[in-house]
Amino acid sequence: MTKKHINHWIMYHEIHRLSRLGLKKAKISRLLNIDVRTVGKYLAMSESEYEQHLIAMGSRNKVLSSYQEFVKGKLEEFPDTSAAQIHDWLKESYPDLPKVSPRTVYNFVMFVRQTHNIPYIKPTREFFPVEQLPYGDQAQVDFGEYSMRSYRGRRKKVYFFSMVLSRSRMKHIWFIDTPFTAAHVCEAHEKAFAFFGGITRVIVYDLDRAMVVDENLGDIILTATFRQYVQSRSFNQHFCRKADPQSKGKVENVVQYVKKNFLYNRLYEDIDTLNTQALAWLERTANFLEHNVTKKSPAEEFAIEKDYLDAYVPIPVEVREVKIHQVRKDNTIAYKSNFYTVPMGTYQSSDSKVILKENNQSLEIYDMQEQLICTHTIYSGKGQIITNSNHKRDTSKSLKEMMDTVSKCFTKTDLAMSFLLKTQQKYPRYIRDHLQIMIKLLTKEQGQSNTQTADKTLVFCLNNKIFNATDFESIYHVNYAEINAPPPQFSDIKPLGKQSLDKANQKPQTSDLNLYENFF
């Protein structure tokens, strides 16, 4: 008996029990949150009748019954297949598949699993214990954030940097009250090295945006500030792959330890007090108590490991005071009673933030990796929206990508690229607008007639030296109408009689042109 059948029987006996206590059907319906007609139907059934009712429910014809063998075969071959994937395979293999909801497919897949005993097997990843690393060989770094309660009853979000030595499990944490920038990351490293009194040979990171600009199959591009910092230090960097927290599990545990043991139910006063409390917590708890895996105190193990660390000589890290501002939904920043625009696409979510810096009379806006986004002249008044015209354009794609997208819509991509380059040469400041018009025009519908129209329009524009997307669009629509126009229909001539047919076949007399020349 399945769990579903057990629940049905419990419901049946509960209805009868409440009825024997003298409760009416309406009362039972409200208590059990079921329809009053269902209550009446169940009360009218004996146990044997209700059993036959359940059997009949289980043997009802299903819309997808004819596809049971197909679904069974797929599940036996791939037990971890989801119901959504089965639905797609059914639509691919059976064009005449009846239109059913995803929930219907899910129920049918579960029915097939139960009928043929095909449990869902979740794919697992093989793990093996990591060998104990040598003293002074590796440290792991990670970041965390936590929303604390303040004495005034408000919430305050704090951000922290954590570093742990892989061998001794000696830990260090540092808190700030703003999101980490690349300069903050460099400062946090210096504080951790000063705390440990040395530097490990390798430090393990994940792909955090404060340190990494991009990653392409192992080719890591660091932010300018962090790259300059690590070049002045002796340690090597190891960046974990995406969705691979097991590679730095030691520091992942530290982050959770900080949140659940140190920060949980702690009241926030100010950031300096929090850092003082954190150092005291490290000394009396995190680095003092016996570690759950090594069964040794991190402080005692660190007494051995510190002699294996590379020498530490402080490096001054310049951290200018930055102002973190929220990006509004309309891609603007509120600053000193005015609104300054940022390029379209800067706002991604409610967590989108930017860094503001004042430079003379200019307001410089940077992303969280301290890459310059745009610059505005600071407005002295209030209540104004200061904007740049190019901010209304989506600059998330590079010009090269946009040109490649347009050129692929033509048969001869080299001619198309020549047209685009000449357009860029003629309108360098507005090339992105021209490309957006052509992308919208050419990618709207893909088909043979569209490609033919695009090629014909391209040749006409090149021959007539027309390098303008708006003119291209107008000519495109004319050519499209000509190419896709229906062929002219001619009706047969209906002669009125035999004489008319004879006259239609007659040829008119022609005169010699020399006669007219002599006359003139």
- Give the pLDDT confidence of 81-98 residue by residue, as tens digits: 888 888 988 988 888 888
- Does residue 398 have a pLDDT over 90? no
CB-based contact 184:321 (threshold 8 Å):
no
- Does residue 219 have a pLDDT over 60? no
Q: DSSP string of 84-138?
A: HHHHHHHHHH-TT-----HHHHHHHHHHHHHHHT-----------PPPPPPTTSE
pLDDT value of position 221: 61
The one-letter amino acid at 387: T
pLDDT value of position 279: 95
- Does residue 447 have a pLDDT over 60? no
What is the mean predicted confidence (pLDDT) over 126-138? 77
pLDDT value of position 300: 94
- Does residue 175 have a pLDDT over 90? yes
Structure tokens at 456: 């014909």
Q: Which residue has the higher pLDDT, 516 or 369?
A: 516
pLDDT value of position 218: 46
Task: Tell me the pLDDT band of 320, cut-offs 50, 70 and 90.
Answer: low
- Does residue 127 have a pLDDT over 60? no
What is the mean predicted confidence (pLDDT) over 14-18? 92
Task: Tell me the pLDDT band of 215, cut-offs 50, 70 and 90.
Answer: low
In three-state secondary structure terms, 410 is: coil
Element (H, E) at 353: strand 353-359
pLDDT value of position 214: 56
Least confident residue range of 173-187, 279-293, 436-450: 436-450
pTM of the model: 0.48
* Phi, psi (deg, nearest 5) at residue 138: -145, 145
- Does residue 128 have a pLDDT over 70? no
- Does residue 433 have a pLDDT over 50? yes
- Does residue 235 have a pLDDT over 50? yes
pLDDT value of position 386: 84
CB-based contact 341:388 (threshold 8 Å):
yes
Structure tokens at 285: 């708890």
pLDDT value of position 492: 64
pLDDT value of position 391: 61
Measure the CA–CA gap between 426 and 403, rounded to whole angstroms: 15
Burial (CB count within 10 angstroms: exposed 0-12, middle 13-18, buried 19+), residue 167: buried
Structure tokens at 390: 């190019």
Tens of pLDDT, residue by residue over 248-270, are 778 888 999 999 999 988 999 99
Q: Which residue has the higher pLDDT, 43 or 374?
A: 43
Measure the CA–CA gap between 130 and 236, rounded to whole angstroms: 20
Q: What is the mean pLDDT of the chain?
A: 83
Name the percent of the chain lying above pLDDT 70.
Answer: 86
What is the mean predicted confidence (pLDDT) over 407-427? 89
> Which pairs from 378-384 meet CB under 8 Å and 24+ separation?
378/336, 379/338, 381/338, 382/336, 382/337, 382/338, 383/337, 383/338, 384/338, 384/339
* Phi, psi (deg, nearest 5) at residue 147: -95, 110
What is the mean predicted confidence (pLDDT) over 154-162? 92
Burial (CB count within 10 angstroms: exposed 0-12, middle 13-18, buried 19+), residue 302: buried
Measure the CA–CA gap between 325 and 257, rounded to whole angstroms: 30
Nearest 5°: the CA angle 332, 429, 221 is: 65
Burial (CB count within 10 angstroms: exposed 0-12, middle 13-18, buried 19+), residue 111: middle
What is the mean predicted confidence (pLDDT) over 168-184? 90
Point out which residues pair with 157 in neighbouring strands.
147
Burial (CB count within 10 angstroms: exposed 0-12, middle 13-18, buried 19+), residue 305: buried
pLDDT value of position 133: 87
- Does residue 6 have a pLDDT over 90? no
Task: Tell me the pLDDT band of 217, cut-offs 50, 70 and 90.
Answer: very low
What is the mean predicted confidence (pLDDT) over 235-250? 72
Measure the CA–CA gap between 322 and 363, rounded to whole angstroms: 12
3-state helix, strand, coil split of the chain in percent (to 5) is: 45, 15, 40
- Does residue 226 have a pLDDT over 90? no
Structure tokens at 182: 């690349």
Structure tokens at 185: 């990351």
* Phi, psi (deg, nearest 5) at residue 205: -130, 165
Question: For the packed helices 399-407 and 431-442, what is the interaxial angle rounded to 10 degrees?
Answer: 40
pLDDT value of position 255: 92
The sign of the CA dihedral 467, 473, 474, 479 is: positive
Measure the CA–CA gap between 200 and 236, rounded to whole angstroms: 9
What is the mean predicted confidence (pLDDT) over 303-312? 93
Least confident residue range of 4-13, 71-80, 392-401, 471-480: 392-401
Structure tokens at 120: 């869902």
Measure the CA–CA gap between 137 and 218, rounded to whole angstroms: 22
pLDDT value of position 193: 94
Virtual torsion, Cα 427, 430, 434, 435, nearest 10 deg: 110
CB-based contact 350:344 (threshold 8 Å):
no
Tens of pLDDT, residue by residue over 466-504, are 998 889 989 998 888 888 777 766 666 666 666 666 666
* DSSP conformation class of 505: T
Measure the CA–CA gap between 30 and 190, rounded to whole angstroms: 66
* DSSP conformation class of 395: -
Measure the CA–CA gap between 457 and 476, rounded to whole angstroms: 6
